[in-house]
């Protein structure tokens, strides 16, 4: 079964490349990727890196805290600061080596899908970090304001879970299918896209199915 053999070879190549690229990422690329991620995110929020290997993110918000017995005057909060450990930040660099493994494992890997896929994946990782920062800041602001909104709290919890634990693992596959047309056609055709179609003897095809 040519299609099955083709898919098996793709999975084997992908598995070997994934292990190798994840090792390269962990031992050599994590620090440069974190540096670039911090620099890109700093264009939208203030990011301060501390010697103790954690970041402090300052997220702009516009929240008015109502007056209380302890604070007789209402207060306006314009930003929320929260700390993020280096381990949490690493989550937003994991997707790139997975994407590279998928694109390089394709039977006809090309430079152009790899380049555009890298750009799209890097932008997605920055967007996920900024989304996580917004969700975390909104949750902190809600707690400071004493707003007990069960529905909003559930939405923020689900959003935080998806941003950290789901989307970084799904995004590489989505990006790979979007930027690599041949890989997309091969996967959705069940591996038949790269097999030789039936040949007619009068056309002189020397390949046999």
Band of pLDDT at residue 70, cut at 50, 70 and 90: low
Condensed to tens digits (0 to 9), the pLDDT of residues 77-131 reads 889 999 999 999 999 999 999 999 999 988 777 899 999 999 999 999 999 999 9
Residue range 72-79: mean pLDDT, rounded:
77
- Who contacts 199 (Cβ-Cβ below 8 Å, separation ≥6)? 205, 207, 208, 209
Tokens 């937003």 map to which residue?
Answer: 92
Residue range 32-59: mean pLDDT, rounded:
93
Is 59:4 a contact under the CB 8 Å cutoff? no
Candidate from 1-5, 16-20, 131-135, 203-207 with smallest mean pLDDT:
203-207
Band of pLDDT at residue 196, cut at 50, 70 and 90: very low
Residue range 3-32: mean pLDDT, rounded:
89
pLDDT, position 62: 82
């Amino acid at each position: 079964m040519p299609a099955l053999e083709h898919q098996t070879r793709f999975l084997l190549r992908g598995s070997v490349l994934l292990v190798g690229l994840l090792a390269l990422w962990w031992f050599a690329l994590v620090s440069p990727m974190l540096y670039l991620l911090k620099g890109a995110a700093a264009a939208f929020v203030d990011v301060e890196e501390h010697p103790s290997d954690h970041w402090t993110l300052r997220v702009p918000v516009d929240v008015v805290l109502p007056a209380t017995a302890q604070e007789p005057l209402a207060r306006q909060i314009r930003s929320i600061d929260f700390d993020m450990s280096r381990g949490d930040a690493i989550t937003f660099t994991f997707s790139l080596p997975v994407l590279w493994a998928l694109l390089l494992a394709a039977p006809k890997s090309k430079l152009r899908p790899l380049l555009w896929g890298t750009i799209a994946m890097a932008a997605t990782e920055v967007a996920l970090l900024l989304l996580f920062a917004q969700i975390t800041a909104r949750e902190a602001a809600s707690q400071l304001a004493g707003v007990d909104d069960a529905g909003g709290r559930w939405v923020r919890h689900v959003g935080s879970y998806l941003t950290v634990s789901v989307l970084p693992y799904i995004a590489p596959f989505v990006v790979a299918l979007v930027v690599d047309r041949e890989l997309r056609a091969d996967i959705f055709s069940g591996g038949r896209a790269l097999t030789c179609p039936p040949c007619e003897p009068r056309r002189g095809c020397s390949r046999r199915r």
